[in-house]
Amino acid sequence: MTHLDGNAVAGDLAAIFTGDLSGAVATCAGCGVTGPVATVMVYEGMGEVLRCPDCDTVLLRLMRVAGETRLDMRGVSLLRWQSAA
């Protein structure tokens, strides 16, 4: 089976990441705890750093530079939220 390129999911990704994620539920890749994104610890300064409230693992890092948004999500093993109707 051949694979498609990223354009095939562009519409799906756009729909995913324009919504408000504060009600989403994240699973920490460090300790496995699951909780609402709204309850994570956020440290601001050179960028935004979201950490697990249970084990301090960096869940997500966000930076905006030169018209580009950079998102590192290696500390989130699963993110889930209600689909739009």
Partner 1 sequence: MGTTRGFFRRRSGDDERLPPGQYLERGFPVLSAGPTPHVPLDQWDFSITGSLSEERSWTWDEFLALPREDFTVDIHCVTTWTKLDTQWTGVSVDTLLDGVELEGGYLTALCDGGYTTNLPVEDVTGGKAWVVYQYDGEELEPEHGGPARLLVPHLYFWKSAKWVRRLIFTDEDEPGFWEQLGYHDRGDPWLEQRYQGD
Residues interacting with Zn ion, by CB under 5 A?
28, 30-31, 33, 52, 54-55, 57
Contacts by residues 32-36 (CB-CB < 8 Å, ≥ 24 positions apart)? 32/77, 34/78
List residues near partner 1 by CB under 8 A: 41, 43, 45-47, 49, 51, 56, 58, 61, 63, 65-66, 70, 72
Q: From CA 12, how far away is CA 15, in angstroms rounded?
A: 5
β-pairing verdict for 68-72 and 76-80: unpaired
Specify the residue, 20 or 44, whose C-beta has the smaller distance to partner 1.
Answer: 44
CB of 82 to partner 1, least distance (A): 29
